[in-house]
Chain A
């Protein structure tokens, strides 16, 4: 199992540009989470899906952020337009149901908006 796969690993973009982050969860996991990590705010949940349906998007900072999960094997997080304060590491994680699963995190996408 290749684990949770995120792309790109690094993204540098100019303010105002659209950014799309991608995630492939572990096959068979029915939950998918998007987190953002910064030094100031730590790990923040942005949104999570269950069986491809968004369950809680209360952590999405503003309308500039959107997330989709068109099928069980793919999700995107889009920022449009991007701003310097969006600079962070964005993690995708997936999980099955049950005590022994826990989250499996991807390696993250380091986003820098200049």
Chain B
């Protein structure tokens, strides 16, 4: 019940395209859903986060869409750039400072 399932495992998008990564969770007690971006040799870095009281949050080219009834949330990267090539992790927790359960990660490659 603590799992967060993430798909796809890898994604190739052309420059300027839209990258979409999906996650699903089971535990309805989760109330904090962040996305992390990780470059090779670095630790994951917080990208954007959402609480379940809103259905969408946008920060620049990054948007989280949240569907509470379906227990799903997704990350959309608009106008994808080669610099966005990284591994993206969704996560969920109960509260903002408790343990995060991470998805398995999506390796994104943005081609020229």
Which residues in B have their C-beta under 8 angstroms from that of A42? 102-105
Q: What count of chain B residues pass the 8 Å CB interface test? A: 21
Q: Is the CB of A106 closer than 8 A to any CB of chain B?
A: yes
Q: Which residues of A contact B36 (CB under 8 A)?
A: 103
B residues near A101, Cβ cutoff 8 Å? 96-97
Q: B51 on the interface (CB 8 Å rule)? A: yes
Question: What would 10 A/B residue contacts be, using CB atoms closer than 8 Å?
Answer: A42-B105, A45-B101, A95-B97, A96-B97, A99-B49, A103-B44, A104-B46, A105-B44, A106-B43, A108-B42
CA distance A105 to B45 in the complex (A): 7
Contacts of B41 in A (CB 8 A): 107
Cβ–Cβ contact B43 & A105, under 8 A: yes
Main secondary structure of the interface of B (DSSP, over half): loop
Q: Which residues of B contact A (CB under 8 A)?
A: 32, 34, 36, 41-46, 49, 51, 89, 96-97, 99-105
- Asked if residues B102 and A43 are in contact (CB atoms below 8 Å), the reply is yes
Chain A nearest CB from B85 CB (Å) reads 18
Given the complex, which residues of A lie within 8 Å of B102, measured CB to CB? 42-43
Decide if B89 touches A99 in the complex (CB within 8 Å): no
Cβ-defined contact, B32 with A99, below 8 A: yes
- Least CB distance, A40 to chain B, in whole angstroms: 10
Collect the chain A residues with CB atoms within 8 Å of residue B43's CB: 4, 91, 93, 105-108
For the complex formed, measure the closest distance between the CB of B54 and the CB atoms of chain A, giving whole angstroms: 11
Whether the pair A103, B105 counts as a contact (CB closer than 8 A) is no
- Given contact pairs A99-B51, A106-B43, A33 touches B99 in the complex (Cβ within 8 A): yes
Q: In the complex the two chains form, what is the Cα distance from A50 to B36 in whole Å?
A: 22
